[in-house]
Structure 1
Amino acid sequence: MKTLFNNYIDTFRGLSKEVWWLALITLINRAGTMVIPFLSLYLTTNLEFSLSDVGWVMTSFGLGSVVGSWLGGKLTDKIGYYKVMVRSLLSTGILFIALQFLNTFYSICFGIFLVMTVADTFRPAMFVAMSTYSKPENKTRSVTLIRLAINLGFSAGPAVGGLIITTMSYGGLFWIDGITCILATILLVKVLNPKSTTPLDSIKNEKPESAYKDKVFWIFLASMTIFGIMFLQYFSTMPLYYKDIHMLTELEIGLLLGLNGLFIFILEMPLIKWLENSKHTKVGLMLLGAILTAVSFLVLNTTSWVGILLVGMLFMTVGEMIVFPFSNAFAMERAKKGNQGEYMALYTISFSIAHIFGHNAGMQMVDKLGFNSTWYIMIGLGFLCIILLYILKQYLRIKNETS
């Protein structure tokens, strides 16, 4: 047991203190994101929105994410990651607190759009900061550490969020979201001021290539958008499936979603280190993760046994544990060719686009076709994602052989 523990600790060695600070800031911020997993339930239960209305609110969520990610990339290349991160976190905290006071369809749509526009300027800036403070050989593990912080926050967030809803109300979630963003801002200012930190991988290109002309990157982005549409069902339509079909309570839903983050916290870093030492390429590993995620939907339609929800969650969790770190590392590696902010903005935008179409399409399909048919459509999207990643893998293999 001691050897196992020491081996687990070894997977974290070699990462810079700045990356650890970024992880802690992310943990504080994400621990308060209790609103997001419960947003569809909040809108249908408290505000009595229809599933169709919820779909359009989620589309506003995605549109704000697209605008914010694009703006964040531009601002990062122009004024630097630090200023973007500070302003984004502080403003997001204030906006989250204000969001609870909106209760009409159009005001909610606008409010969600504004919150996500401001919030997601943070993401490209954070990725560039992480790349700057990571040695080249540690980038995938640095990504994984940040994801561990995100998922540890998400594992605590839904569980505590479900408890707060049960004992108090949805309103408290908005206050916690806002306060944690403000706390994260204070910590960021204290520990990551560029005047007192040292970059480990500062990349400056005299003639940077435009990410918009990188055909390989566009194939990659298309596959990630499709993967995002599948993945996001677990945080929009899936909670409704748990409640309406399997009769789970908000607390049980929160605990089930929390298990996702807990499994990632325990298993992802050792898994990533082991996979990094394998002979598989980053794209080949993403391909495996996409297959597992598609299977997570397939198993749900095989039985009405409530335990299958945990099995599906496990397949999805392992799939995302593989796809997200290696896709992020692939994007950062590709970003060395051009403006880092631009590349990382497009990477985050691919998931923002998934927010636009994934939540809304999922809600509309559930409303019109039912859950089982929706899961089969997600399996079909998974197959398309797998095909794109296979094409990308073969293209890069041929290119490497001829270069």
Structure 2
Amino acid sequence: MKTLFNNYINTFKGLSSEVWWLALITLINRAGTMVIPFLSLYLTKDLNFTLAEVGWVMSAFGLGSVIGSWLGGKLTDRIGYYKVMVRSLLTTGFLFIGLQYLNTFSSFCLGIFVIMIVADMFRPAMFVALSAYSKPENKTRSVTLIRLAINLGFSAGPAVGGLIITTISYGGLFWVDGITCILATILLIKVLNPKKARTLDTVINKNPQSAYKDKAFWIFLASMTLFGIIFLQYFSTMPLYYKDIHSLSEFEIGLLLGLNGFFIFVLEMPLIKWLEHTKYTKPGLMIFGAILTVLSFLVLNMTSWVGVLIIGMLLMTIGEMIAFPFSNAFAMQRAKKGNQGEYMALYTISFSISHIFGHNAGLQLVDSYGFNTTWLIMGLLGLICIGLIFYLKLYLKANKDLA
């Protein structure tokens, strides 16, 4: 047991202190975004919005995320990741506090749209910072550490958020969200001053390639958008499937979803460290992750046995653990060819687009054709995703492109 624990701890060795600070800042920030899981409840119960209006609010949320990611990439290339991160975090804090005072449908749509523009400017800047503070051989594990922080934040946030709603009110969520963003900004200024921090991978490209002209990267982005649409079903249509078809309670659904976070926390870092030392390429590993994720949907149609839900969740979790870190590392490696902010902005935008279409498309399919057909369609989208990544692998090989 002690040897197993030591081996687990060793998987975190070699990462720079700046990467650990970035992970802590991300943990504080993501734990603070506890408004988001309760947004639909707040809008329907406190503001009496209709479900149709909530749908438009979520569309404004997704559109703001797309614009914010694009703008964050542009600003990162112009003024640097540090300034973008500080200004985005600090402004987001004050905007979250102010959001509670918007009570009409139009004003709330505008408010959440503006917040997401400012908040998601942080993401491409953070990825560029992560690239700068990581040694080339540690980039995938650095991304994995940030993912652990995000998962811990998302796990703790809703639990604390529910407690705040019960003891204070929904208004308390907005205050806590805002204050945690401001605290994360203070920590960022204290520990990641670029004049003092160690930059381990400085990339100077005198003739940067535009990400918009990088065919391989566009193939990659298309595959990631499809993967995002499939993956997001686990946070919209899948809980409905658990409840409506298998009659699971909210508590049981929570345990099943919590299984995902637990396995990521325990297994992802050792798994990534082991895979990094194999002969497989990043596109090859992305294909394997996508295959497992597709299988997680298809097994659900094979039997009505309730245990298949655990099998499906495990397949999806392992697929996610492989696909996301290596796709992120691929994007950071590819970004060295040009303006890093531009590349990382497009990478984050691909998932913002998945949010805009994924939830709505899944729910519409379930409503029109039922769960079994929806899982088959998701499997078909997954096969297209796998095909695109395979084409990407062949394209890179044909052009002798290792990035």
**TM-score by shorter chain over 0.5:** yes
> SS at the partner of 2:203?
coil
CA distance in 2, matches of 1:54, 1:206: 47
Gaps of 5+ in 1: none
> Does 2:8 correspond to 1:8?
yes
2:263 maps to 1:263: yes
Equivalent residue for 1:374?
374
- Deviation string, structure 1 residues 345-384 (Cα, Å, up to 9, x no partner): 1111111111121122223333444444333322221111
CA gap of 1:157–1:371, structure 2 versus 1, over 3 A, is: farther
Kept after mapping to 2: 8 A contact 1:141/1:273 = yes
Question: Percent same amino acid at aligned positions?
Answer: 79
Residue 256 to residue 104, structure 1, CA distance change in 2 (3 Å): farther
1:383 and 2:386 aligned? no
RMSD: 2.5
Please tell me whether residue 129 in structure 1 is matched to residue 116 in structure 2.
no
- Distance in 1 (alpha carbons) for counterparts of 2:107 and 2:303: 40
- Aligned to 2:212, the other structure's residue is in SS state helix
The equivalent of 2:35 in structure 1 is 35
Residue 92 of structure 1 aligns to a residue whose secondary structure is: helix
1:344 partner letter: M
Contact 1:162–1:253 (8 Å) recurs in 2? no
C-alpha separation between the residues in 1 aligned to 2:91 and 2:73? 17
Deviation of 1:196 (Å): 1.6
TM-score (norm 2): 0.91
Report the equivalent of 2:217.
217
Q: From the superposition, tell whether residues 259 and 167 of structure 1 become closer, same or farther in structure 2 (CA, over 3 Å).
A: farther
Instruction: Report the Cα offset of residue 186 of structure 1.
Output: 1.3
- Please name the residue that 2:345 is paired with: 345
Structure 1 Cα separation of the partners of residues 150 and 137 of structure 2: 22
Q: Deviations over 1:11-30 (max 9, x none)?
A: 11111100010011011111
Question: 1:263 touches 1:317 (CA, 8 Å); kept in 2?
Answer: yes
Q: Is the 8 A contact 1:56 1:360 kept in 2?
A: no
Q: How far apart are 1:301 and its partner, in Å? A: 3.7
Partner of 2:182: 182
Deviation at 1:6, TM superposition (A): 1.2
Partners of 2:355 and 2:244 in 1: CA distance: 22
Deviation at 1:320, TM superposition (A): 1.2
Give 1:115's aligned residue: 115
2:399 alignment partner, SS class: helix
1:234–1:111 CA distance, 2 compared to 1 (3 A): farther
CA distance in 1, matches of 2:309, 2:169: 26
Distance 1:243 1:170 in 2: 26
AA matched with 1:219: I
Tell me the equivalent position of 1:146: 146
| 1:199 Cα deviation from its structure 2 partner | 0.8
- 1:299–1:312 contact (8 Å) kept in structure 2: yes
Contact 1:91 1:118 in 2 (8 A): yes
TM-score (norm 1): 0.91
Secondary structure of the residue aligned to 1:12 is coil
CA distance in 1, matches of 2:44, 2:97: 20
Aligned partner of residue 12 in structure 2, secondary structure: coil
The structural deviation recorded for 1:266 is 1.0
Relative to 1, partners in 2 of residues 1:82 and 1:255: Cα closer, same or farther, differing over 3 Å? Answer: farther
Distance 1:310 1:97 in 2: 39
Q: Could you say which residue in structure 2 is the equivalent of 1:315?
A: 315
Q: CA deviation at 1:219?
A: 0.1
Q: Distance in 1 between matches of 2:178 and 2:309?
A: 31
